[in-house]
Structure 1
Amino acid sequence: MAVIASAKDTVLVVNFQTGLTPAGSPILRQRSFQNVRSDAADQDIYDVATALYGLQSYPLISVRRDNRVDLTE
């Protein structure tokens, strides 16, 4: 029997730098934003992340989209 994939939700995950360690390595933090529409375009999600972190004093390091899917038979 074939497996059916049903989109459940999407999470926006951003990594940003909050400072430097005494050794000079970056201190990175991660924040997740739930309840992102699963049909949102990748470019729109990226644009929202860059706009939000453009208002912050911390530099944005990376943007990730996590799609969660329910699998059933």
Structure 2
Amino acid sequence: MALLATPIESVLVVAYQVGLTDTGAPKIRQRSIANVRSNALDQDVYDVAGALFSLQEFPVTSIRRDNRIDLVNE
């Protein structure tokens, strides 16, 4: 049987450092932005995340894109 994979949506997840813990480890927070077009180019998603989060005072530690795909067995 053939498997049909249909992209549903993408979620942009950006982690950033808000400070240090008492032991000196980085304190990380993350923000998710839903409804990213599934057909948007990875470079465009990365560039938009960089532009948006450059407006805050905290340094970005990672940018991730989570793709959600509907899988149907035909």
The verdict on a shared fold, with TM-score over 0.5 as the criterion, is yes
Q: What residue ranges of structure 2 are gaps of 5+ in the alignment?
A: none
C-alpha distance in 1 between matches for 2:25 and 2:52? 24
1:35-46 equivalences in 2 (<5 Å): 35-46=35-46
Q: What residue ranges of structure 1 are gaps of 5+ in the alignment?
A: none
C-alpha distance in 2 between matches for 1:65 and 1:15? 11
Q: Where does residue 70 of structure 1 map in the other structure? A: 70
RMSD of equivalent CA atoms? 0.6
C-alpha distance in 2 between matches for 1:2 and 1:30? 37
* Residues 19-54 of structure 1: per-residue CA shift (max 9 Å, x gap): 101111100011110000011111110011111111
Residues matched between the structures, number: 73
Note the C-alpha offset of 1:65.
0.6
Instruction: Tell me whether 1:55 sits opposite 2:55 in the alignment.
Output: yes
> Could you list the runs of 4 or more consecutive aligned residues of structure 1 that deviate by over 3 angstroms after TM superposition?
none
Q: Where does residue 10 of structure 2 map in the other structure? A: 10
SS of residue paired to 1:43: helix
TM-score normalised by length of structure 1: 0.96
C-alpha distance in 2 between matches for 1:33 and 1:61? 16
Equivalent position amino acid for 2:52 in 1: L
